[in-house]
Chain A
Amino acid sequence: MRNRLAHLLLMAAPPVAFFLLLIAVWQLATGLGHVPSFLLPSPLRVGQAAWQNCQDLLQASGLTAAAALAGLAASLVVGMLVAIAFSQSAIVRRSFYPYAIFLQTVPSVALAPLVIIWFGPGFASVVVVAFIIALFPIITNATTGLLDLDQNLVELFAMSSASRRQLLFKLQLPNSIPYLIAGAKISCGLSVIGAIVGEFTAGYGENSYGLGYLIIATSGRLQLDYLLAATLAAMLLGVLMFATVSLIGDWILRGWHAPGSVGDPNESG
């Protein structure tokens, strides 16, 4: 236990040290006046801006988080359904998979105005942008998970004359879960990006805004300290979502892969 703690500290030390160094250099460079504050405010200023606007920042983060989470949830559901359709028919897969890849190349910034024309300004449009951007990794990962099966397991099911339905529910779907979790880890960050891009163009209405709006508005007013504070909040939101998805994933997969699972030569009967 103590060893693990020491190990964890040892692992965390270099990135933490680097972070502190970065902040120190940043503070020194801006504090000594080498970099003008209208180009780059000092970390202290950014901290002050965050503190002064903490109410607004929290509210905006909450709205952005809600939109990102809704987009992620929708992409998980739709992505899984698409992947199931892909896994059930080679013809469906070959017809539509190329378009799923197109989805990845769609520039989200260009997409947002179109979405707003279709869905109108407001929460729904932001969710749709987040959803579209988060969808692709879910489709590809889930499809792989449904199809990348241990051939012995497939033959085991064949020996029991299992139906396609049984194969799907008792082998393919459980097999896809680790892949789906890996996809969700990628998509949760993307959904935050999607929500912010959506908010650039589609607001939420009177006195109600997300981090994307704050970033655009503060850059217009040249409030770089507030802008950086909002950007930082967006980053923290992404990290928080990633950590949550990771924890949920670890919890679901507990017991699947214990350490040293590849055969124990010292079998004791």
Chain B
Amino acid sequence: MAAETLTTSTPAPLVEIAAVDVTYRQGLRAVEGITLNLQAGEFVAIVGPSGCGKSTLLRSIAGLIRPSRGRLTIAGLEPVRARREATRMSFVFQDPTLLPWRDVYHNIALPLELAGESRGAREPRVREAIGLVGLADFAGRYPAELSGGMRMRVSLARALVTDPALLLLDEPFAALDDITRQTLNEELLALWETRHWTGVFVTHNIAEAIFLSQRVLVLSRRPGRIVADVRVPFPFPRTASLRCEPDFARLTGDIGLRLREASR
């Protein structure tokens, strides 16, 4: 009895992926033999050469793509069912993916609207999400009036407004300049430290992956396999100065080497 309580004291992982392959209809195998567990509250980054299937992996976790082989569950459920019934899930795309006919406020309110929440119940939550990303003064602006970084913030606020348990980010800052990217990394991390969602962040920027995550997974070129699972030892809260530490540079270089090997 006592032994059993001990073994269950480590909670079951939120995301369980076992021997998953994703093959597209044309016979193109995107990822192969992926086995991976994510604990609740964990922030994991996935890096890999371009076209290695990292987005495919993220999309299968979201239930937007179905694995062709293997088992993928979220809190024990198949992803589409999990997101309908059990686990609040948000996806942040590489493009801001905003509705051009809606202002900032109503873009952020969209997921709540689709979930059938009443106007009154939406209001404080949307206001809070707008505040989180520092766009309180821009609630009435349209996407076309905003800069690229601001649009990405709107996209982030829209993902956070439902208070997700699982946040999936697909190279969200890839199109931004480096300074904006770093600022948004810091803001994202600060939000994670207060809210502790489970995060999966796909990127091809190694420094970004290390700065944000507790674990960096390196994928090989297509078909993507996990070739390294690197623990990131830096404690939280992390600040901008972390990027200047020699250990940070060493880890960046180390993962860079592994990525090069994986790209061959």
**A190 CA to B143 CA, complexed, in Å:** 35
Contact B149 A256 (CB under 8 A): no
Of all chain A residues, which has the CB nearest B101? A174
Picked from B83, B143, B180, the residue with its CB within 8 Å of the CB of A269 is B180
Determine if B144 and A267 form an interchain contact, defined as CB atoms under 8 angstroms apart.
Answer: no
Smallest Cβ-Cβ distance to B81: which chain A residue = A161
Pair B101/A263 contact, Cβ less than 8 Å? no
CB distance from A179 to the nearest CB of B (A): 13
Which among A156, A265, A269 has the greatest number of chain B C-beta atoms within 10 A? A156
A160 at the interface (CB under 8 A from B): yes
Contact A155–B147 (Cβ < 8 Å) = no
**By the criterion CB–CB under 8 Å, are B100 and A256 in contact?**
yes
Chain B, 222-261, contact with A by CB distance < 8 Å: what is the 0/1 string? 0000000000000000000000000000000000000000
Residues of B within 8 A of A152 (CB): 93, 95, 97
A98, chain B: closest CB distance, angstroms: 28
**Contact at A255–B114, with CB atoms within 8 Å?**
no
Question: Once the chains bind, are A155 and B64 in contact (CB under 8 Å)?
Answer: yes
A160 lies within 8 A of B115 (CB): yes
Q: What is the CA–CA distance of A155 and B183 in the complex, to the nearest angstrom?
A: 27
Would you give 29 A-B contacts (Cβ < 8 Å), ordered by A?
Answer: A150-B97, A153-B99, A156-B93, A157-B114, A158-B64, A159-B90, A159-B91, A159-B111, A160-B114, A160-B115, A161-B114, A170-B110, A171-B99, A174-B99, A255-B144, A256-B100, A256-B101, A256-B144, A257-B100, A258-B142, A261-B144, A263-B147, A264-B148, A265-B148, A265-B177, A267-B147, A267-B150, A267-B177, A269-B149
B interface with A by C-beta (< 8 Å): 62, 64, 83-84, 89-91, 93, 95, 97, 99-101, 103, 110-111, 113-115, 134, 142-145, 147-150, 175-177, 179-180, 183
